[in-house]
Amino acid sequence: MFTGIIQSLGRIESLSPRGGAMRLAIAAPDLDTSDVALGDSIAVSGPCLTAVAIAPGRFEVDVSPETLARTTLGAKRVGDTVNLEKALRLSDRLGGHLVSGHVDGIGDVHSRLERDNCVQFGLRAPAALARYISQKGSICIDGVSLTVNAVNGADFELLIIPHTLERTTLGELRSGSRVNLEIDLVARYLERLLMPDAATPGVTEETLRKAGMLGHS
């Protein structure tokens, strides 16, 4: 589990194919890995990956064929910059929102507009994800926790402040860029609760009343 607050930027040093998978070596001189053990999770521009080798200022992760196909990691090249966040500890502050590191799909940047000292991005989500994105709701873009400013169908807007532009890869985005999207966990689980099936009855007015969440008529 993560917060979407980026702790450091890293740079891809090497990509080593391993069958259909890939091992990434990432230089991360500003990321404190003193408390990272083999097998720990690190989010790399969104996807949660497992550290398989650790050294001062660098670490390595294995990326499965599924992750390569369903995220932007499959298009990364040596020298590319990535957002890094170590897994959340229960004692940490939750400065962003709860992020699982499981990418739901890839979005496309279709506009970039300078506004005062901020940048407004227009993005398009896959149609299947659009219903989970709401105005003033949370979304994770390349591992960064952000607030949605406006929504129009599958299109949505983000307004990014200078601090975030400087400390993450979002400052590099241009029209035509592709990004990893993770929808808000609350939206995902709420939909599941409201979709009854044979094994899982949905949430109804009666179940809410029995739980004491509604008054008795």
How confident is the model over 81-112, as pLDDT tens digits?
Answer: 999 999 987 777 777 788 999 999 999 999 99
Q: Going by C-beta distance under 8 Å and a sequence separation of 6 or more, which residues neighbour residue 139? A: 133, 146, 147, 148, 156, 158, 181, 182, 183, 184
Domain shared by 142 and 74, yes or no: no
User: Mean pLDDT across the stretch 147-173?
Assistant: 97
Structure tokens at 133: 């994105």
Last residue of a domain, one of 86, 118, 149: 86
pLDDT at 97: 85
pLDDT at residue 168, as a whole number:
98
Nearest 5°: phi and psi at 5? -100, 110
**Token digits of residue 154:** 């599958």
* pLDDT-based confidence at residue 193 (cuts at 50, 70, 90): confident
- The reply to whether 121 falls in a domain is yes
- For position 185, what pLDDT does the model report? 82
DSSP 168: S
Q: Tally the domains of the chain.
A: 2
Query: Does 78 fall in a domain?
Result: yes
- Specify whether the CB–CB gap between 10 and 28 falls below 8 A: yes
Q: 198: pLDDT confidence band, cut at 50, 70 and 90?
A: low
Asked if residue 212 has pLDDT above 70, the reply is no
Helices (H), 57-184: 65-70, 162-167
Q: How far apart are the first and last CA of the chain?
A: 41
* Same domain membership, residue 74 and residue 124: no
- The pLDDT of residue 209 is 65
The CATH number assigned to the domain holding 166 equals 2.40.30.20
